[in-house]
A = this chain, B = another copy of it.
Amino acid sequence: MKPTLATRRRGAIATLAAIGTLLPMPGALAADLLPSWNDTAPKKAIVTFVERVTRPGSPDFVPAAERIATFDNDGCLWAEQPMYFQLAFALDRVRALAPQHPEWKTEEPFASLLRGDLKGALAGGEPAIAQMVMATHAGMTTEEFDRIVRDWVASARHPKTGRLYTEMVYQPMLELLAYLRANGFKTFIVSGGGIEFMRPWTERVYGIPPEQVVGSSIKTRFELRDGKPVLVRLPDVDFIDDKAGKPVGIHWHIGRRPIAAFGNSDGDLQMLQWTTAGSGARLALIVRHTDGEREWAYDRTSSVGRLDRALDEAQARGWTVVSMKDDWKQVFPR
């Protein structure tokens, strides 16, 4: 039977698509895509894993559709010191909204923050933080919040480096994301951070579209306002995508088990366990903050990004541990 124009054309498109995702990537070429990584064990572990799962005929070959890779965000793709960047956003928003909230002048933790006493504002611990997050993250529509986040990331600067927060991303991890995608992987963020705080900029900064971002969330409600449908953000926690919540979030959003997962703290332990418990080749990688000069050095006792149990388990199970100081030529983009 003679193929029709339509079937020939569809065949050509399918072939092109297949070439785009399945083209084997020789090792030397792969290495070129990771120029900010030293030629130490972690880079070798990454390249070896990718070759095992992508080489046709390999006993560990994984079809492109199943090449799911999940990345934590805070401390894994971008920095998280001296405080989680989303907390810096919340504090900036409290300051910006203060004129509309005269009651905050006498109400903690707002009063301390507005007096310039950050330590006092944070002294109430998680409940105080939750109060400031809810006061700044709820009560508007999803479109309004999107705009607020876009404006903030376009202008707010890190207190130590003076860079935009979205420039405090790790160059080696940007290369790793691109390298995996060039090898047919679908890259996801799976973060304890707010899903709506990340989505406005992850596509531009990481190449990760909104539908591939998994995170913590508050509830939203559908409403018609003057006949126009909106989603209103409510001061009510819906889901915490951290620790044992990460496999739950992965399952609900993605519905497949990742074959590679990347984290940096105890909040990622269950994601790494869940990922490595699948059959076939798996990659679990932890970014360890060992570089007090170019970044920060912290692990077992840090209140931000604590890495303790997950480090023990990484060592016991032979997961890949990246030392920023030793394994990365460069930390932030130039």
Contacts and interface: CB of A to CB of B under 8 A. Distances in A.
Contacts of A251: 142, 220, 231
Interface residues of A, number: 50
A277 B228 contact: yes
Given A13-B23, A251-B220, A229 B273 contact: yes
Interface string A270-301: 10011001000000000000000000000000
Contacts of A270: 222, 229
A222 B199 CA distance: 26
Nearest to A13: B20
A9 interface: yes
B32 A4 contact: yes
A contacts with B: majority SS:
helix
B10 A182 contact: yes
A195 interface: yes
Copies in the complex: 2
Given A13-B20, A23-B13, A182-B13, A231 B248 contact: yes
B6 A195 contact: no
A222 B195 contact: no
Interface stretch (A86-94, A122-130, A253-261): A253-261
Nearest to A238: B252
Contacts of A9: 29
A308 to B, nearest CB: 18
Interface string A220-253: 1110100011010000000000001101100111
A245 B231 CA distance: 10
Interface string A1-45: 000111001100100110110010000010011000000000000
B248 A65 contact: no
A321 interface: no
A209 interface: yes
A149 interface: no
Contacts of A228: 277
Contacts of A65: 203, 209
A53 interface: no
Closest 7 CB pairs of A and B: A210-B255, A222-B244, A6-B32, A17-B20, A211-B254, A16-B20, A229-B273
Interface of A: 4-6, 9-10, 13, 16-17, 19-20, 23, 29, 32-33, 65, 68, 142, 182, 186, 195-196, 199, 203, 209-213, 217, 220-222, 224, 228-229, 231, 244-245, 247-248, 251-256, 270, 273-274, 277
